[in-house]
Structure 1
Amino acid sequence: MFLIITIIIIILFTLTHISHSAVNRHNTTVVSDNHHVLKLPLHHINPLQSPSDAISSDTARLSVLLATLHRLPNLPLTSGAYAGAGQYFVTLHLGTPPQPLLLIADTGSDLIWVTCSACRNDCAATRPPHSSFLVRHSDSYSLHHCFDRACKLVPQPRPNRGACKPTRLHSPCRYEYSYADGSITSGFFAKETTSFNSSTGKLLQHDSLAFGCGFKISGPSVSGPSFNGAQGIMGLGRGPISFVTQLGHRFGNKFSYCLKDYTIAPPPTSYLMIGNVATAGKSKMLYTPLKTNPISSTFYYIGIKDVYVDNVKLPISPSVWDIDELGNGGTIVDSGTTLTFIPESAYRHVLAAFRRRVKLPAPAGSPANFDLCYNVSGISRRLSLPRLRFKLVGNSAFSPPVGNYFIDTSEDVKCLALQPVASTGGFSVIGNLMQQGFLFEFDIERSQLGFSRTGCSKS
């Protein structure tokens, strides 16, 4: 709910910690009273040290996503909190009075969870402000019962760690989630009030947001430097306990985001918008159906039919994009993965097509883990590189600009930002770098994904 230069929608989204009544258009959660839109500024915080580091983080993310996908058929929970895989942050105001908490926003997971503390007095003396949710400082905190229907939607701890037992009629619901690297988050599955600043300055509240209150957080994925100081995860997946599903009835069961070019200095503000957004770009929105996977309700799958390079259709079998009866394969749109991953056989055809068309020298000492790099030094004219296009189910076409898939790995060196998926049962991923500059609209009620090249500049 978590392949190569990782930027999100797992998805990281950040908001500056603000007062609960002030309204600032750059650093404030804003709800439009007329259009029922929740608008959250997104910021890329910590750039990657090198392209190779990005590949390592993305590969780690894919392994976690794939492992979780096949763990339990009825577990709607996958997380992108690992090895710096998420790169956009969002602030969630939780409790009464509201406490601001910095979370990783991840379209590849469902569960909302935060680091919790039972501290009652002098909490600032033992921990930095807003480093965890102070349960005893909220008047609206409550627990899900062990036998609540909602309790079955989160992974349970083992029997010797407090799992539900028939003899415990009043025991609280506990959750426990382990990551591939041995990291763990566990605690109580609780209910709280979350708050948003409206466009009029009025504080709006949403009651009974279900979330994991984590009292045990350990391991590099969720507590080390790669977690970048976040206090938890905001799951934006399609499952029943995600942030967008829980608030769906209030905001039209849809959300959208624009990921601006993070290489620009200073980086422009990106936005996550919950609700039906009215922008000029929506008139040019293209749509493709969201597909379903028999073993996962979390991921946003789309269908790819064909791939073109410079308007030439590549000889790729359509079957390589299919989801089989075991839930293997398919293509997901993920804000928490940076680069784009496609099946090995498709990747080889794309690679060959670019090599035939581009006759530039390879750089000395090409960057590790990139199969196609060019030395572009001394090119005085405007560099022209082949155009990549994906034909999608529904007769729409996704045509990203060249900068979304050819990246600068060092001075005068450009590399193809695609990677092959070679693992058995692996799926393709359209990463956030490929998504930059587009308005993406996830319409859960209609089960469709919209995208517009012009809408992002208007958000």
Structure 2
Amino acid sequence: MVSSLPPIFLALLIFFCLQQKPCNAHKYLKLPLHHKNPFTTPPQTLTSDTQRLFTLSSSFQTQKTLKTPVISGASTGSGQYFVDFNIGTPPQKLLLIADTGSDLIWVKCSPCRNCSRHPPGTAFLARHSKTFSPFHCYNRACRLVPPPPKPNPCNLTKLHSTCRYEYSYADTSKTSGFFSREIATLNASSGREMKLKNLAFGCGFHVSGPSVTGSSFNGAHGVMGLGRGPISFSSQVGKRFGNKFSYCLMDYTISPPPTSYLIIGEAHEPNSKKPMKFTPLHTNPLSPTFYYVGIESVSVNGVSLPIDPSVWTIDGDGNGGTVIDSGTTLTFLAEPGYRQILAEFKRLVRLPRMVGPDASFELCVNVSDVANPRLPRLVVRFLGGAIFEPPPRNYFIDAADGVKCLALLPVNSPSGFSVIGNLMQQGFLFEFDRDESRLGFTRIGCAVS
């Protein structure tokens, strides 16, 4: 879910350094990502992911830490992870999707005065906040959001000449309203609160389309964009916390589910006996929001597959590449690479084959009579030598009683890119180091064996 935005990075830096003082103050904030119920059904997940993948690929155009809970959206049919978000004075509690594949922070808004039809927690009631303040349309911050097709005339002398935005998605979904600033109150896992003043966000009075109202959005009141663009949460708040953020997505099959976390700031101990592995983050001028990584090779059960490295790279037109995305559940791979990986899995799996609940999964096996099925091990070697070795449960899902399916799918479009989804990321702490332009990951302090 993204929309391309003007890259006014210098103006943004000056603007947010003025708004978020001090810009060089590093702190640690840890915000829980609460997990709700077990994984949604494969057909629901496929519908949500396919819709999202279309949206994403069509978008071309000494430190402490803050750590906050993240809620899995699996039970809503979305496969998303949710963050508690308190905004306004007094604070109004909403639930946002934590999304590394988009930039704008936005919430559903209501302009009501008598809000009996909008009970607390269903939308942000702008008139009920003492600190709600839309940007004027001449404010330089207004240039960071896409305007509506026919904006009202902007009059510098009129207080009501607010900054209007319209953020559209490839499937015709959109949110539109006032680009505004507010006080956000974040509840850290330690129990303490932190107030973020003048946080820029979209107050969406009009929200429409399947990406933001359908099953993939059920239960959420907006999106916390964590992308690389200037208006994302990680860009606005990052300088206060070392310009890093990370998350730890726990195994959804564990009952009761452990708490996942979104961490703003330093995510690991630099002197750990098992330090974090790092791989460079790449940029794509045609899709500046996304966090691209480079894949050097892929192996199955220790055998490196002869996949042409160009399969995983960004070409001269900005097509292809590989993206880490928290908002996509399954993992999608470029067709040539997917076919070779699938063929190797089919060759190695000795369990009885069967038809899964969704025809899109090309390898499903019967495990009803096997207590601990032995499944092939997938290993990805990223550029820089970092080895990513997820457990089989991250890519073989329980599709039905006694049925496991390989949860990898092909990307057929030449302009599309591979996506490493949140299911594949479970059990790892991923750190997005924006200053060093690198992605770190480790199982220390996150994985449950």
Give the TM-score normalised by the residue count of structure 2: 0.85
- Name the CA distance, whole Å, in 1 between partners of 2:313 and 2:225: 25
- Name the CA distance, whole Å, in 2 between partners of 1:52 and 1:242: 31
Does structure 1 conserve the Cα–Cα contact (< 8 Å) formed by 2:429 and 2:443?
yes
- Counterpart of 1:390 in structure 2 is 380
- Counterpart of 1:450 in structure 2 is 440
- Counterpart of 1:108 in structure 2 is 101
Q: State yes or no: 1:408 paired with 2:398.
A: yes
Does structure 1 conserve the Cα–Cα contact (< 8 Å) formed by 2:355 and 2:364?
no
Does structure 2 conserve the Cα–Cα contact (< 8 Å) formed by 1:132 and 1:231?
yes
Amino acid at match of 1:118: P
Percent of aligned pairs with the same amino acid: 60
- Counterpart of 1:298 in structure 2 is 289
- Counterpart of 1:260 in structure 2 is 250
Amino acid at match of 1:132: A
- Name the CA distance, whole Å, in 2 between partners of 1:367 and 1:197: 40
What 5-or-longer segments of structure 2 have no aligned partner? 3-24, 62-72
Q: State yes or no: 1:417 paired with 2:393.
A: no
Q: Aligned match of 1:88 in 52, 59, 81?
A: 81
Decide whether aligned partners of structure 1 residues 43 and 282 sit closer, same or farther in structure 2, where only a CA change above 3 A counts. farther
Amino acid at match of 1:333: I
Does structure 1 conserve the Cα–Cα contact (< 8 Å) formed by 2:134 and 2:179?
yes
Q: Aligned match of 2:172 in 149, 171, 182?
A: 182
Does structure 1 conserve the Cα–Cα contact (< 8 Å) formed by 2:162 and 2:178?
yes
Q: Deviations over 1:27-84 (max 9, x none)?
A: xxxxxxx9722211112336555212211211111001112224xxxxxxxxxx9x95
- Counterpart of 1:28 in structure 2 is none
Please give the residue correspondences for 1:147-162 in structure 2 after superposition, counting only pairs within 5 Å.
147-159=138-150, 162=151
Please report how far the alpha carbon of residue 206 of structure 1 lies from its aligned counterpart in structure 2 after TM superposition: 1.5
- Counterpart of 1:119 in structure 2 is 112
Query: Could you tell which deviates more after superposition, 176-185 or 50-59?
Result: 176-185
Q: Deviations over 1:108-152 (max 9, x none)?
A: 11100011122234x2x2112121112122222212121222212
- Name the CA distance, whole Å, in 1 between partners of 2:230 and 2:355: 51
Secondary structure, counterpart of 1:298 in structure 2: coil
- Counterpart of 2:323 in structure 1 is 332
- Counterpart of 1:357 in structure 2 is 348
- Name the CA distance, whole Å, in 1 between partners of 2:330 and 2:437: 25
**Aligned pair count?**
411
Does structure 2 conserve the Cα–Cα contact (< 8 Å) formed by 1:281 and 1:455?
no
Please report how far the alpha carbon of residue 197 of structure 1 lies from its aligned counterpart in structure 2 after TM superposition: 4.1
- Name the CA distance, whole Å, in 2 between partners of 1:199 and 1:359: 45
Please report how far the alpha carbon of residue 184 of structure 1 lies from its aligned counterpart in structure 2 after TM superposition: 2.4
- Counterpart of 1:99 in structure 2 is 92
Please give the residue correspondences for 1:25-104 in structure 2 after superposition, counting only pairs within 5 Å.
36-45=27-36, 47=38, 49-70=40-61, 85=78, 87-104=80-97
Backbone CA RMSD of aligned residues: 2.5
Give the TM-score normalised by the residue count of structure 1: 0.83
- Name the CA distance, whole Å, in 2 between partners of 1:408 and 1:152: 46
Does structure 1 conserve the Cα–Cα contact (< 8 Å) formed by 2:122 and 2:221?
yes
- Counterpart of 2:262 in structure 1 is 272
Q: Deviations over 1:1-28 (max 9, x none)?
A: 46xxxxxxxxxxxxxxxxxxxxxxxxxx
- Name the CA distance, whole Å, in 1 between partners of 2:100 and 2:313: 21
Does structure 2 conserve the Cα–Cα contact (< 8 Å) formed by 1:282 and 1:452?
no
Amino acid at match of 1:245: S
Amino acid at match of 1:299: F
Does structure 1 conserve the Cα–Cα contact (< 8 Å) formed by 2:99 and 2:327?
yes
What 5-or-longer segments of structure 1 have no aligned partner? 3-33, 71-80
Amino acid at match of 1:96: T
